[in-house]
Amino acid sequence: MRCTACHQGTYKKGGRCDRCGEVFMKINQAPPENPLVEKSLENLAHVYCRLKPSPIGGIGVFAIRSIPAGINPFDGIPIETWVQVPLSRLKGTDKEVMRMVLDFGVKEGRKVWMPLGGMNALNISYHLNHSKTPNMKAMDGGDWFTSARAIKAGEELTVDYDTYEDEDHRY
């Protein structure tokens, strides 16, 4: 059979073209397994959420399928290293960047914890909105989260910011 890649060679025993080395595959034959593809497909089992506009405010995290109680719906997101920065060191920072730091960082008195990778390192969990009746719990000071109860598809995920920040939240 003539090679479909170079159109000059022919497929020999083992299915390889004698001219260009192209491997012949039947239409229903699966390609060789790629460990990265397999890991990526395996990780889909841990996808529970997506970002959407929130009635609470701004953007929120919403369940795209049921989330059982007691699991981390953000499993697979690397835990970011955070650094504590005195607010005085942020003087002169662009106004909108500073707003992001204050919105997403964790304030403690006159200091703020922010990701070492900067504000471009934000992941989906940073968009959890605040609630005094949350369906999520902060673990290890807000490093990761777990579902406080079963969460239905379509429900917004919320956490009580006061469980891991000094600031009192009244929204």
| Per-residue model confidence as pLDDT tens digits over 109-142 | 899 999 998 888 888 998 999 999 999 999 887 7
pLDDT per residue as tens digits for the range 12-53: 777 777 877 777 665 555 556 778 888 888 888 889 999 999
Question: Does residue 171 carry a pLDDT above 50?
Answer: no
pLDDT per residue as tens digits for the range 50-79: 999 999 999 999 999 999 999 999 988 887
Query: Domain locations in the chain?
Result: 48-163
Q: What's domain 48-163's superfamily in CATH?
A: SET domain (2.170.270.10)
Q: Is the pTM of this model over 0.95?
A: no
At 13, list the tokens: 């025993």
In the chain, % helix, strand, coil (3-state, to 5) comes to: 25, 25, 50
Of residues 92 and 167, more confidently modeled: 92
Residue 106's CB: how many other CB atoms inside 10 A?
Answer: 17
pLDDT at 144: 85
Cβ distance 96 to 66 under 8 Å?
no
Angle, alpha carbons 118-123-125 (nearest 5°): 125
